[in-house]
Structure 1
Amino acid sequence: MTTHDLPRLRPEVVLGPALRTGPKTVHHIKDESTGCFYRVGPREHFIMGLMDGRHTLQDIGVQYRETYDRTLGPDSWQQMFTLLGRYQLLDGHADAGVLDRFRQAQQDKQAARQGWLRRRWVLLQPDRLCATLAARLGFAFRTGFVVPALALIALLQTIVWTHTTVLAHDASHQRSWAVAVPLLLVLGWLITMLHELAHGVTCRHFGGSVTEIGLSWRFPLLTPYCRTDDIVLFHRRRARVGTAFAGVFVGLLSLAPVTLWWWLTRDGGPGHRIAAALLLFGSAGSLMSLLPFLRSDGYVMLTHALGLVDLRRESYRFWRLRLRRRDPAARDTLRAYPSGDVRAYTLYGIATLAVAVPAYCALMWVWFARLRHWTGPGWAVVVLAAETLVVAGLLLGAARGRRADRQAADA
């Protein structure tokens, strides 16, 4: 009996759960030996899931017919084995040289994405560290720890936001700014690194790998990041949402000793005002990251809570189709969307506009109020209009670049 009679995927091949993208359902597949991710449809995923070396082609065909009420004929099998051969996924039929080329192509693809509009600087390759921490901190993923920790976070945030005026006064009246600013930067970055490391440890706890922690530049923001690409392979929705939430969870929890210190030194003891600044800005920053915009933690949480691949991108696509709904092809595509996803994309698009437009207008008003004192109101309007055009052009260029990357990946 040949390996084709009892087909088996290579041990490094990992199959992910069903996620929705537009009107389609897809599954992510990762080849751990090359780092490459692929997408397949539900039927291909079903067949591949049975390729474990114990099911014959006849067994797979019978189960496929029982599930989909269709027969796998010779042409279907030919297409399936062509797909497996193209990506070298079948055990016993993979060419080491081809896998090396895939690995190099994946690295080249990552390098090609670097530019002045977006760039990443890797600071740490933390997979082994995250694995060690995940093993030693297993108790932190149990309900008996998580629930009391969430209650403590709620209590701390209640204290912070009911003492905002006092905290703001303390934070803005530092005894020595020359000491306070560097110390706040160091402590802030320490909390930020704990935030990112929490994503990695949680990803490792649920079985994923963590390849990078570093800095990401996406015009106009410079932010830390932790690569947890394997999140799309977690079959439990709770694992995907929990991995995205872990950073905010640890960031807010790390403010517990800061709150205690601020409270114990309220008579003006050492570090009181620095603790106030760290509490105020740390709480605000963590809570802001829960807003489901700009690919924040909250955005990733919402995306996976809804079982989607990319909420923002698909929302844009959905609204473009709605604006072209007089086109029969657009109407047909819209009809294929699940009703729940239609509501999600509609509400997300409205919410994005409701937040983005007032926020941009407020920013422009602040800039106008500053500029008019230096240049006069006329030139202030000209400068802001030019700035708006430049930002729009940069964002459009970035969107076209992402679209080109997706088309290249699909090819």
Structure 2
Amino acid sequence: MSASACALEKSRAKIHSCFRDDLVVTPSPADSVTWRYNLYDPRNDIGFELGRAEYSLALLFDGQRSLHDIAEAALAQHRIKVSPEKLAQFERKLLNLKLLSSEQTAHKKDLRDPATGITYGPLKEHLLINLVKTNPQPLLDHIYRLAPWCCRAAFILPLLALALASFVYLGVHFGTFMTDAGDTYIQSYRWLLWHFPVILTSIALHELGHAMACRHYGVKVNDFGIGIYLLLATGWVRPVQAQWSRLPLNQRVITILAGPLVSLLYAGLGIVLWAMFRDSQGGLPALFVVMIVASLVSLVPTLLPIFNGDTYLAITEALGQPRLRQRAFNYVKRHWRTAPLEAVSPALRRLYWSTFLLTCLGWVIAWCFTAATLIRLFNHP
């Protein structure tokens, strides 16, 4: 049998890889110059981009067609002429990127929520409530066209100085503020009226800060979300990974810091409003106290490196180790199961073990502190 005949026979052989059905696919805006598809992989928290032709070909991998069948379907359905040999190379590329799966649903048990790095399993579907989940790029483009100055240092630095001045004022009047906070949180239930609206607004503005910084540096954002998991509000912004990775480290750091900066500005606004209306009657003083407390409390998880917040992201960027915690926990899990371990350098092995141990210790301390605070709060006379 000739070589060409052998190749034809191989191309007609059944293949078992198919395009994953859990990928989040976002097409380019209708007015985009180049039509591309943003693919977000929820298993690894990584984004990819495929052109229209590449995406059309990828969809033809259904686990049933042979490479020869896919070539015929591409020509008939999309007028794309491609040889089985080129399709085989394309298939290997998609498999390396994990955009194809040999078992369509086997990987779903490994889904992770990027907000915490913890596997929720089947409970995630029922306990995580998505309040907002959208492609924000058109809105970001619109805001940036109207107010490009909002991302410039000449505008941001004076605001930051004013916010820091408000915190100095809060420190000077800290006793008065603690009295008002006690009246709000212990002596009444008025804070319940404002808690979730205030904290969700704070998170939305925090994530908008990240997203606008991405827009300023020319990085597309394909997912913007706000949700509630076990009564805890959470938010996320997911840039196109390929564009994000090409940014210089200093621009990535500025983008990471943009979220906490906006949260500080939000808390500073609450301090100014509290100072102006703290002697007023009605519910406004309680609202401004909640603005200060809730916005600062929501900053704590994102600043603690034991959670997958901004500090953790900055560490992984500085070390060049994306998804460090997940990889460290997987490494330790394989060690305990006596499964074959991946070949890693001694330095990387020490990094994995230290990440695992410090994260576990941090989780224990954080939850003990939270439990003690709640007990003290509810036992307050």
- TM class by shorter-chain length? 0.5 to 0.7
Shift of 1:350: 3.6
Native 8 Å contact 2:214 2:220 kept in 1 = yes
Aligned to 2:31: none
Aligned to 2:267: 255
Aligned to 1:246: 258
CA distance in 2, matches of 1:273, 1:141: 32
After TM superposition, the score normalised by the length of structure 1 is: 0.54
- Structure 2 residue 94 is the aligned partner of structure 1 residue 83: no
Corresponding letter in the other structure for 1:355: G
Corresponding letter in the other structure for 2:50: D
Corresponding letter in the other structure for 1:349: F
CA distance in 1, matches of 2:207, 2:49: 23
CA distance in 2, matches of 1:366, 1:190: 25
Aligned to 1:401: none
Aligned to 2:310: 297
- Structure 2 residue 321 is the aligned partner of structure 1 residue 314: no
Shift of 1:313: 0.9
Aligned to 1:351: 358
- Structure 2 residue 236 is the aligned partner of structure 1 residue 226: yes
Identity %: 20
Native 8 Å contact 1:199 1:246 kept in 2 = yes
Shift of 1:30: 2.4
Native 8 Å contact 2:48 2:240 kept in 1 = no
Aligned to 1:194: 205
CA distance in 2, matches of 1:307, 1:80: 33
For the residue of structure 2 that corresponds to 1:289, the secondary structure is: helix
Corresponding letter in the other structure for 2:320: G
Aligned to 2:215: 204
Aligned to 1:123: 132
Native 8 Å contact 1:259 1:279 kept in 2 = yes
Native 8 Å contact 2:200 2:233 kept in 1 = no
- The one-character-per-residue Cα deviations of 1:61-118 (angstroms, maximum 9, x if unpaired) are xxxxxxxxxxxxxxxxx99984336568xxxxxxxxxx9x99xx99x989x9894324
Distance 1:117 1:165, change over 3 A: farther
Corresponding letter in the other structure for 2:132: L
Native 8 Å contact 2:204 2:235 kept in 1 = no
Distance 1:328 1:349, change over 3 A: closer
CA distance in 1, matches of 2:357, 2:175: 33
The match for 1:132 among 134, 137, 142 is: 142
Count, aligned residues: 291
Distance 1:304 1:354, change over 3 A: same
Distance 1:132 1:268, change over 3 A: same
After TM superposition, the score normalised by the length of structure 2 is: 0.58
Corresponding letter in the other structure for 1:142: R
Q: Give the gaps of 5 or more residues in structure 1.
A: 1-9, 15-20, 22-26, 39-77, 89-98, 371-411
Distance 1:147 1:315, change over 3 A: farther
Shift of 1:252: 1.5
Native 8 Å contact 1:202 1:243 kept in 2 = yes
CA distance in 2, matches of 1:162, 1:350: 40
Shift of 1:291: 1.1
Aligned to 2:72: none
Q: Give the gaps of 5 or more residues in structure 2.
A: 1-33, 39-43, 59-83, 113-120
Quick check: 275-284 or 179-188, which moved more?
179-188
- The one-character-per-residue Cα deviations of 1:278-334 (angstroms, maximum 9, x if unpaired) are 21222122233211233223322322232222021122244457779xx8964x823
For the residue of structure 2 that corresponds to 1:255, the secondary structure is: helix
Distance 1:308 1:190, change over 3 A: same
Native 8 Å contact 2:227 2:235 kept in 1 = yes
For the residue of structure 2 that corresponds to 1:204, the secondary structure is: helix
Shift of 1:253: 0.8
Native 8 Å contact 1:200 1:226 kept in 2 = no
Distance 1:323 1:164, change over 3 A: farther
Corresponding letter in the other structure for 1:171: A
For the residue of structure 2 that corresponds to 1:294, the secondary structure is: coil
Native 8 Å contact 1:203 1:228 kept in 2 = no
CA distance in 1, matches of 2:240, 2:332: 29
- Structure 2 residue 287 is the aligned partner of structure 1 residue 277: no
CA distance in 2, matches of 1:162, 1:321: 53
Corresponding letter in the other structure for 1:310: R
- Structure 2 residue 176 is the aligned partner of structure 1 residue 166: yes
Query: Map of 1:357-376 to 2, 5 A cutoff?
Result: 357-362=364-369
Query: Map of 1:16-165 to 2, 5 A cutoff?
Result: 29-31=48-50, 33=52, 82-84=88-90, 115-118=122-125, 119=128, 121=130, 123=132, 125=134, 126-160=136-170, 163-165=173-175
Give RMSD over aligned pairs. 4.9
Shift of 1:250: 1.2
Native 8 Å contact 2:132 2:224 kept in 1 = yes
CA distance in 2, matches of 1:142, 1:12: 29
CA distance in 2, matches of 1:141, 1:278: 24
For the residue of structure 1 that corresponds to 2:218, the secondary structure is: coil
Distance 1:269 1:301, change over 3 A: farther
- The one-character-per-residue Cα deviations of 1:105-164 (angstroms, maximum 9, x if unpaired) are 99x989x98943244526353221112123334323333344444444444445446655
CA distance in 2, matches of 1:206, 1:200: 10
CA distance in 1, matches of 2:323, 2:332: 14
Distance 1:238 1:342, change over 3 A: farther
CA distance in 2, matches of 1:253, 1:35: 42
CA distance in 2, matches of 1:248, 1:87: 38
Distance 1:289 1:164, change over 3 A: farther
Quick check: 147-156 or 246-255, which moved more?
147-156
